[in-house]
A = this chain, B = another copy of it.
Amino acid sequence: LEMTEQLTLYTAKICPYAHRVELALEEAGVDYTRFEIDLENKPEWYAPEVNPASKVPAIAYGGPKVAPDHPSPDSTKIAESLVLVEFVADLSGKLRPADPVLRAKGRFLIDAFSNTFAPAFGATIIRGEPVEPLLAAIEKVQGLLSPEGYALGPEFTFADAAIVPFFARLEVLLKGDYGAYEEGTGAKAYETLQSDPKFARYRKYLADVRARDSFQKTFHEEYVREKFATRHANARAARKAAQGSH
């Protein structure tokens, strides 16, 4: 697809929100310039010149062709991952089924995902709360997937781009037992996800998405695993130090 305007994506390999937009751009076949933001050491120009919220993802669209680290004031800056996924769909005319009912099912699925999986993910991984609500959230989202194929049926759509980056990262976290929970909790939950017949649809769905070029090009599993491992080791050391000080 030939775009009339330049499009620069500010992103970070670690971030599932940014990954949504990379998947959307790859699947839509949109030409774009990718710029990695180091989230632990953001360039000083990023917040004032690209995204005042200082988060990824963000897109600079239109304006002159410039180096990504010298963004032009003449491009339009857009932020928020779901806004950007819809933007890529609007730009390209791809990623969304033609049927308004299917589009509504996709948006409802994303809303349910945001309201169930996303908070449960943070609760379990970051705060070490029980893993059961997280597994229940996966079951709930799984129940909203089309019985076969991708989230809305045979075609990959915006709904897949919105949810898969989180599933993929969760598997890395649980498999490595990286999280604020008691040791062994993540590894056990990972085993459940891989073997319990209850999660058969989830497994097939994720395997189908993993097989796609767009996913392989945009998910840097070993990089993500190492980052999570380092964060986990640091967080555990900090918790031990805090306990020792009592």
> Which residues of A line the B interface, CB within 8 A?
61-62, 76, 78-80, 82-84, 86-87, 90-91, 100-101, 103-105, 107-108, 111
Point out the residue from B61, B78, B101, B107 that lies within 8 Å of A108, measured CB to CB: B78
Instruction: Report yes or no: B82 in contact with A104, Cβ–Cβ below 8 A.
Output: no
Name A86's closest neighbour in chain B (CB-CB): B107
> Could you say which residues of chain B place their CB within 8 Å of the CB of A107?
80, 82-83, 86-87
- Assess whether B100 is in contact with A91, with CB atoms less than 8 Å apart: yes
Q: Per a CB cutoff under 8 Å, which of B61, B80, B90 touches A111?
A: B80
Query: When the two chains form their complex, are residues B80 and A103 in contact, meaning their CB atoms are under 8 A apart?
Result: no
Given contacts A83-B111, A111-B80, contact A90 B61 (CB under 8 A): no
A79 contact set on B, CB distance < 8 A: 108
Starting from the known contacts A80-B111, A82-B111, 9 additional A-B residue pairs (CB-CB under 8 Å) come to A61-B101, A62-B101, A83-B107, A84-B104, A86-B103, A87-B103, A87-B104, A90-B103, A90-B104
B76, B101, B104: the one within 8 Å of A101 (CB): B76
Inter-subunit contact B83/A108 (CB<8 Å): yes
In the bound complex, what is the Cα–Cα distance between A76 and B103 (angstroms)? Answer: 13
The reply to whether B111 and A86 contact each other, CB–CB distance below 8 Å, is no
**Residues of B contacting A108 with CB < 8 Å?**
78-80, 83
- The residue in A62, A82, A100 that gathers the most chain B C-beta atoms within 10 A of its C-beta is A100
Q: Which of B86, B100, B103, B105 contacts A104 (CB 8 A)?
A: B86
With a CB–CB cut-off of 8 A, which chain B residues contact A86? Answer: 103-104, 107
User: How distant is the Cα of A91 from the Cα of B61 in the complex, in angstroms?
Assistant: 28
In the complex, chain B residues whose CB is within 8 Å of the CB of A105 = 78
Q: Is the CB of B61 within 8 A of A83?
A: no
- Which chain B residue shows the least CB distance to A115? B80
Chain B residues positioned under 8 Å from A104 (CB to CB) = 78, 83-84, 86-87, 90
CB of A74 to closest CB in B, whole Å: 13
A111 vs B76: C-alpha distance in the bound complex, in angstroms? 18
Candidates B80, B87, B100, B101; contact of A100 at CB < 8 Å: B87
